[in-house]
Amino acid sequence: MKEFIVKLLTLLGIAQAGNPLQEGQLAYLFSLKNHEGKTVNLSDYKGRWVVLYFYPKADTPGCTTQAKEYTKLMPEFEKLRVKVFGVSTDKVESIKKFREKYNLSVEFLSDPKGEVAKAYGVSVIAGFCSRDTVLINPDLRVEKVYRGVDPSADPKKVLEYINKTK
């Protein structure tokens, strides 16, 4: 049903669906501004696991829950040398305020046009990303793609997968 709705919204010009990624493909290398306005290059993380979790809008209930859950588990991610990025179409100022308001340790990235989201097969509907998570392995290949994730369960699910794989 969700696929049908996205296709319909795409036809109406309201949504832009990305192309589905296949696990094992080389990751899309990007440069985006983080919550401090500094440029982050994915290529700098070769040799480390990277989590890209895409979310619709900062400071909304689901997004706040997901960010708090990642923050709670951040010491475990860091112990495994996993870099976690929250990605949305929000502006740098918005993600900075969001991070500060809730004292979050996640590094947020601003993808204002949704170009990186679309490159990873994330649907962008009316300017908002769908809630998807992409796990990139140390070889900069897409290891796992989770579509339509539950914001409270996603961080733990990703951490469990990495723990099993390492």
Catalytic residues: 63
Compute, in degrees rounded to 10, the torsion defined by CA atoms 64, 66, 72, 75: -130
Query: How many C-beta neighbours within 10 Å does residue 13 have?
Result: 7
Q: Which residue has the tokens 């996993």?
A: 82
Distance (Å, whole) CA 22 – CA 19: 9
The DSSP letter of residue 44 is G
Distance (Å, whole) CA 48 – CA 29: 14
β 49-54/82-88 pair status: parallel
Distance (Å, whole) CA 165 – CA 143: 10
The DSSP letter of residue 141 is B
